[in-house]
Amino acid sequence: MRLRYVEGGHERLENHNKVITRPEEYKGKWSKLFNNSNPIHVEFGCGRGGFIVGMAEKNKNINYLAFERNSKVIIRGINKLSENPDENFYFVRSDIKKIEDIFHENEIERIYLNFSDPWPKKRHSKRRLTYRSFLKLYEKILIPQGQLHFKTDNTGLFDFSIEELNERGWKIYMMTRDLHNSEYLEENVMTEYEEKFVKRGQAINKLIAIARRK
Which tens digit of pLDDT belongs to each residue from 130-180? 999 999 999 999 999 999 999 999 999 999 999 999 999 999 999 999 999
- At 205, give phi and psi (nearest 5°): -90, 140
Is 178 annotated to bind a ligand? Reply is no
**What is the pLDDT, as a whole number, of residue 9?**
56
Is 117 annotated to bind a ligand? Reply is yes
Q: Quickly count helices (H) and strands (E) in the chain.
A: 8, 8
Q: Going by DSSP bridges, is the β-strand pair 205-210/171-176 parallel, antiparallel, or unpaired?
A: antiparallel
Domains and their CATH numbers in the chain = 9-210 (3.40.50.150)
The residues that are catalytic are 117
Is 43 annotated to bind a ligand? Reply is yes
pTM summary value: 0.91
Mean pLDDT of the chain: 90
Give mean pLDDT, residues 68-79.
84
Is 21 annotated to bind a ligand? Reply is no
Q: Environment class of residue 25 by beta-carbon count within 10 Å: exposed (0-12), middle (13-18) or buried (19+)?
A: exposed
Is 194 annotated to bind a ligand? Reply is yes
**What is the pLDDT, as a whole number, of residue 83?**
66
